[in-house]
Amino acid sequence: MRVAVASFEYEGNSLSLRVERREDFARIGIFEGQAILQAVEGKGLALTGGIHALRDAGMQIVPIFAAKGGAGGHVEDGFFAEAAARVIEGIAAALPLDGVYIALHGAMICGEEKDPEGAILAAVRARIGPRIPIAISLDLHAHVTPRMVAAADIVVGYETYPHVDAYRTGACAAGLLIRALRGEISPVTRMRKYNAIVPVLGGATLDCAPMTHVAAHARAMEAEGRALSVSYFPVQPWLDMADVGITGLAVTDADQDAADAVAQEILDQMWQRRREFELPAMTPAEAVQAAMEMEGQVLLVDAPDSIGGGASGDSPALLAAILAHAPKAEAALCIVDPHAAARASELGVGAEAEFAVGAWQDQRWFKPVSLTARVERLCEGSFTYRGGPASGAKARLGPTAVLRVGGLRLLVASHAVYEHLDEHYAACGVDITACKLVSFKNLMNYQKLLRPGVGFIALHGPGSTPLRLQDVAWENRRRPFWPRDDMAVPMPIV
C-alpha cells in the first residue's frame, strides 16, 4: 500500500511582529522527496514516528515535502503559497495512493490565511477524493478548526507538555491510519470547543498541574475503549481570532455520537480546571530581588518574551533588572539582537565598548538598554537539540557574541531560536551550572532543568506572549470569553 507523508509545522502568534520567510524555514530544513527519509532519521519528530510506523507495517512510503519552522508571528504569504502547493500538488501527483499522513503543528497563521492547515487539508481532500484516509498529528497547542477535522479522518495531538512525545504522536496517528488501511477500523473524528483561553505557563502535564488530570482522564477513556484516541488542546492563546479556544477531540471506530460525547467530556475536564492554570509571577525587578534571597540557582522565566510562543526574544526588561539589582551576581541571559551582535563582531574579542541591547525588532514596550561590556567570545551558536519536539535537529543562533558585564554573561544572538534545555548557552561556551541566575525565554522546557537546589520564578509584564490573557487588547475575540469574563457557563464555539 502506498502512503504519502508530509510535514509543514509552524506556530503563529497574532501579537508577535515576527514574519517567517523561506530562509527562516530553510535554516532548520526544507526537504522534498526521498531526501525526507534521510532527514528525519535520528530525530524525535512526529514525522519520524509516522514514517517509522508506516515502514514497520510494510507500507510503501511516498515522501512529499517537509518543513518545520518553530514559532513566530506569521508565515509570509509567498512562502506559505509555495509550501502549500508542494504539499497539495505533490500528494496529487503521487496518486494512486492508499493513505496520507501529514505532521502539522496546527496553530499556523499567515498574513492572509488564518486557517492555513485547514486550507491545505481541504485542498488535499479535494484532490484525492473522499475515500483515501488522511491522518494528521498536531501539537498540544494546535488551533483546531472544523475545516481541518472535516478533511482529516484521523487527528491525534501530543499528550505532553513539555512536549516529549512528538515521535509517539506521529506513530500513533500513522498507527490508526494503518489499521484503517487494513480494514480493521473506520475512524471518525469529532471536536468540541469553548470560547476560553488559558495561560500556557500553567499548562504542564507534570506533577499535579491541571493538565495532568486532563491527560489522565483522556488515557482512562481510551483504556475503557470509549475512543481510539482522545486529544485535548489548551490551544496557543495568543491568536487574535474569534474561533480560538480550548478544544476536546476524539477519534472513534465509526461512532460519531461516541466521538462527540468523548470530545465534550475531555473539553469539560479542561474547563472545570480553568482557574488552576494561573501561576504566581513577578515583575522583572521583583523577580531578581527575590531570586537573590533564595538559596541555590534560580531560573528566571521571561514568560512575556517566550521565543517558543512566538515572541521576538528581544525584550531587555530582565537585563535591565539584573543590571540594577544584581550586577555582581554570576548570571546568564540571552537576548536576540543582530545589530548588537554585528557590532561586537566588528569590535572583536577583548574589546570593551558601549552597547545598546534589545528591543531591536519590537519597540512597543521597551527601549534598548545601554551598557558597557567586554566582548568575551564570538561564535555561530550551532547546536543539536537533546530532546523535545525537535530532538536531534540542528539549530543555529547565527552570529552571536558573549558580552561580559559585571557577573553577567549576555548572549547576543542574531536569530530567535526555539529554546529546549541549555543547548544555546552551551553552544556559546556558557556553563549555566556556575550561574546564580539563568534567564530562559520559554514557557515550559525550563522545567526539565529543575532539580533539588534549582528554583524558578516566572515573570509577568508586557510582551507578545503575556501571561495575563485578560489584559490583552484583543480586537477579534468575542465576549464573553474566559478569562476576561468570569462565566459560570462556557460559551461553545464548535
The interface region with Zn ion, picked from 74-82, 141-149, 328-336, 401-409 by CB under 5 A, is 141-149
DSSP letters of 165-207?
Answer: -HHHHHHHHHHHHHHHHTTS--EEEEEEEBSB---GGG---ST
Task: Identify residue 227 by its one-letter amino acid code.
Answer: A
Q: DSSP state, 471?
A: G
Residue with the shortest CB distance to Zn ion: 141
Are 157 and 249 contacting, i.e. CB atoms less than 8 angstroms apart? yes
Q: Which C-beta is closer to Zn ion: that of 43 or that of 141? A: 141
Q: What Å distances lie between residue 421 and 13, 42, 303, 439, 449, CA to CA?
A: 22, 18, 15, 11, 7
Binding-site string for Zn ion from residue 88 to residue 127, where x marks contact by CB under 5 A and - marks none: ----------------------------------------
Q: Which C-beta is closer to Zn ion: that of 133 or that of 313? A: 313
Count of residues engaged in binding Zn ion, rule: CB under 5 A: 2
Which residue do the cell numbers 530582565 mark?
A: 318
* Grid cell of 135 as nine digits: 491522518
The interface region with Zn ion, picked from 139-147, 253-261, 296-304, 481-489 by CB under 5 A, is 139-147
Distance separating alpha carbons of residues 460 and 160, to the nearest angstrom: 24
Task: With residue 248 as reference, give the H or E element that holds it.
Answer: strand 247-253
- The number of beta carbons lying within 10 Å of the beta carbon of residue 449 is 16
The interface region with Zn ion, picked from 131-139, 169-177, 216-224, 370-378 by CB under 5 A, is 131-139
139 binds Zn ion per the rule CB under 5 A? yes
Closest contact distance (angstroms) between CB of 163 and Zn ion is: 6
The interface region with Zn ion, picked from 135-143, 207-215, 237-245, 472-480 by CB under 5 A, is 135-143
Strand-pair category, 382-384 with 74-75: unpaired
Q: Which C-beta is closer to Zn ion: that of 9 or that of 314? A: 9
Closest contact distance (angstroms) between CB of 202 and Zn ion is: 14
Q: Label each residue of 366-394 as H, E or C.
A: CCCEEEEEEEEEEECCEEECCCCCCCCCE
Q: Which C-beta is closer to Zn ion: that of 187 or that of 466? A: 466
Closest contact distance (angstroms) between CB of 200 and Zn ion is: 8
Task: With residue 357 as reference, give the H or E element that holds it.
Answer: strand 352-357
The interface region with Zn ion, picked from 138-146, 250-258, 400-408, 445-453 by CB under 5 A, is 138-146
Q: Which C-beta is closer to Zn ion: that of 18 or that of 141? A: 141
The SS3 assignment for 409 reads: strand
Q: Which of 43, 68, 86, 141 binds Zn ion (CB under 5 A)?
A: 141
Closest contact distance (angstroms) between CB of 248 and Zn ion is: 17
Are 133 and 177 contacting, i.e. CB atoms less than 8 angstroms apart? yes
The interface region with Zn ion, picked from 37-45, 60-68, 132-140, 347-355 by CB under 5 A, is 132-140
Q: What angle do CA 138, 8, 251 make, to 5 degrees?
A: 25
Closest contact distance (angstroms) between CB of 236 and Zn ion is: 7
Measure the CA dihedral 170/171/177/179, to 10°.
-160
The interface region with Zn ion, picked from 69-77, 133-141, 205-213, 411-419 by CB under 5 A, is 133-141
Closest contact distance (angstroms) between CB of 250 and Zn ion is: 20
Closest contact distance (angstroms) between CB of 105 and Zn ion is: 7
Closest contact distance (angstroms) between CB of 213 and Zn ion is: 19
Residues 314-353 that bind Zn ion (CB under 5 A): none
Q: Which C-beta is closer to Zn ion: that of 139 or that of 314? A: 139
Closest CA to 460 of 337, 305, 331, 240: 305
Closest CA to 333 of 201, 437, 414: 437
Q: What is the CA radius of gyration of the chain?
A: 22
Closest contact distance (angstroms) between CB of 84 and Zn ion is: 21
Q: Which C-beta is closer to Zn ion: that of 68 or that of 141? A: 141
Q: Which C-beta is closer to Zn ion: that of 234 or that of 461? A: 234
Closest contact distance (angstroms) between CB of 141 and Zn ion is: 4
Closest contact distance (angstroms) between CB of 191 and Zn ion is: 18
Closest contact distance (angstroms) between CB of 482 and Zn ion is: 20
The interface region with Zn ion, picked from 136-144, 168-176, 250-258, 259-267 by CB under 5 A, is 136-144
Q: Which C-beta is closer to Zn ion: that of 104 or that of 228? A: 104
Q: CB under 8 Å to 202, separation ≥6 — which residues?
A: 209, 210, 276, 277, 278, 279
Q: Which C-beta is closer to Zn ion: that of 13 or that of 414? A: 13
Q: Which C-beta is closer to Zn ion: that of 20 or that of 139? A: 139
Q: Which C-beta is closer to Zn ion: that of 175 or that of 237? A: 237
Most distant CA pair in the chain: distance in Å? 70
Distance separating alpha carbons of residues 197 and 246, to the nearest angstrom: 6
Enumerate binding residues for Zn ion (CB under 5 A): 139, 141
